[in-house]
Amino acid sequence: MFNEQQTKLARYAKALGHPVRIYVLQTLAKQTCCYSGDLSEVLPIAKSTLSQHLKELKEAGLIQGEIEAPRIKYCINKANWAEAQDLLKAFFED
CATH number of residue 17's parent domain: 1.10.10.10
Contacts of range 38-47, beta carbons closer than 8 Å, 24 or more positions apart: 39/74, 45/20
Say whether pTM exceeds 0.75.
Answer: yes
- ω before 19 within 30° of 0 (cis)? no
Tell me what pLDDT residue 48 has: 92
Q: Which domain holds residue 30?
A: 4-93
pLDDT tens readout for residues 57-94 = 999 999 999 988 888 999 999 999 999 999 999 999 97
| Count of domains forming the chain | 1
Is residue 61 left, alpha or beta, with left meaning phi > 0 and alpha meaning psi from -120 to 50?
Answer: left
Tens of pLDDT, residue by residue over 15-51, are 999 999 999 999 999 988 888 888 888 889 999 999 9
